[in-house]
Amino acid sequence: MRTAIGTTIAAHGAQKLFGWFGGGGIEGTGKGFHSMGYRPGQNMALVAGVSETVGGAALALGFGTPGGAAAVAGAMGVAAEQHKPNGFFNMSGGYEYPMLIGLTAMSLIVSGPGKVSLDHATGHVLDRPWMRALAFASVPIAVATMITRKRAALAQDEAEAEDDTESEGAQ
């Protein structure tokens, strides 16, 4: 499970970072992020791309599993919120897919990497109980912070658009 989720999300992040696999790269993804309210768009595309690529690679290898899983869960939590207006099912652009991946990543924080992992081979130097607790606790905080920032940016855009409309009407 860890390897499948990790490689899938690492490839998804590579779309954002490098434009691989038909992705938009930082520039294209950044424009999309800006339009969705994630500001500055290119910086947020970089954060999402690194979270997914590096976090996914960490999961695939089972090395630094708590941090990698937290990075993936956080990115997918934000993605799920973005897709929420489309309903549940992925077929309609809903939040089903990112939610499932995010929850799976959260479960990997708790369950750990397993015996066939670099964490196990290295004596769990990057997979301590306190790291798991910190990783698990950090995800909702990170997701809430990103959603709050996005909503504030969109509210500011809306207020500026209203001001522009009022200015045009007064002329």
3-class SS string, 88-143: CCHHHCCCHHHHHHHHHHHHHHHHCCCCCCHHHHCCCCCCCHHHHHHHHHHHHHHH
pTM for this entry:
0.92
Domain boundaries, the chain: 2-170
- Per-residue pLDDT band for 171 (boundaries 50, 70, 90) equals low
Q: pLDDT tens, 81-115?
A: 999 999 999 999 999 999 999 999 999 999 999 99
- Per-residue pLDDT band for 153 (boundaries 50, 70, 90) equals very high
Tell me what pLDDT residue 168 has. Answer: 72
Q: pLDDT tens, 10-36?
A: 999 999 999 999 999 999 999 999 999
DSSP 66: H
CA-to-CA distance for 52 and 83, rounded, in angstroms? 17
CA-to-CA distance for 44 and 53, rounded, in angstroms? 14
Contact 27, 34 (CB under 8 A): no
End-to-end, the C-alpha distance of the chain in Å comes to 62
Under DSSP, is residue 52 helix (H, G, I), strand (E, B) or coil?
helix
Tell me what pLDDT residue 162 has. Answer: 86
Mean pLDDT of 56-72: 98
Q: How many residues does the chain have?
A: 171
